[in-house]
């Protein structure tokens, strides 16, 4: 029979080994799913690795949006001001997607320098307010005006 002190040490070591094993399993499971976030300036600086999952964020450059003849392929440029990256996406764009608006594209860079997006997330500006909140603010303003 081991002393209580040795039993606690064995349990502590077993817990540490279990935690390390769980962390390694989680890292192994996420190795292909982890996507780093880049802006066009990072890509222009050569920080992005081709054919690796990543997210590209910035603004849709005005005048760059082009639809292909097939109707589902869209080409546009994402810019952060000093740099821009050409993006190709095949699919249905979100309703908030438009030139001059914020966008986050998930996909991969090709060796040719084109970002092939598999998912597009359109962002609204920081002044966005849900319609329900907009009605409440309008009602408060109306009450103040009436009073």
Annotated binding site for heme: 124, 128
Determine the length of the chain: 147
78 close to 122: Cβ distance less than 8 angstroms: no
- Residue 2's SS3 state is coil
Candidates 81, 77, 42; CA nearest to 61 is 77
Known binding-site residue numbers: 124, 128
Tokens of 68: 């292909």
- Residue 1's SS3 state is coil
The alpha carbon of 40 is separated from its chain's Cα centroid by a whole number of angstroms, namely 14
- How far apart are the C-alpha atoms of 136 and 138, rounded to whole Å? 5
């Amino acid at each position: 029979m081991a002393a209580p002190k040795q039993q606690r040490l064995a349990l502590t070591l077993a817990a540490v080994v279990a935690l390390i094993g769980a962390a390694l399993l989680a890292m192994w499971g996420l190795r292909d799913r982890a996507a780093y976030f880049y802006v066009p300036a990072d890509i222009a600086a050569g920080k992005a690795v081709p054919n690796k999952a990543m997210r590209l964020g910035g603004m849709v450059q005005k005048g760059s949006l082009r639809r292909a003849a097939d109707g589902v392929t869209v080409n546009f440029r994402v810019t952060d001001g000093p740099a821009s990256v050409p993006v190709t996406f095949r699919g249905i764009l979100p309703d908030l997607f438009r030139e001059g608006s914020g966008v986050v594209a998930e996909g991969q860079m090709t060796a040719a320098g084109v970002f092939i997006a598999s998912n597009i997330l359109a962002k609204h500006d920081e002044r966005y307010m849900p319609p329900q909140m907009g009605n409440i603010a309008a009602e408060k303003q109306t009450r103040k005006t009436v009073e």
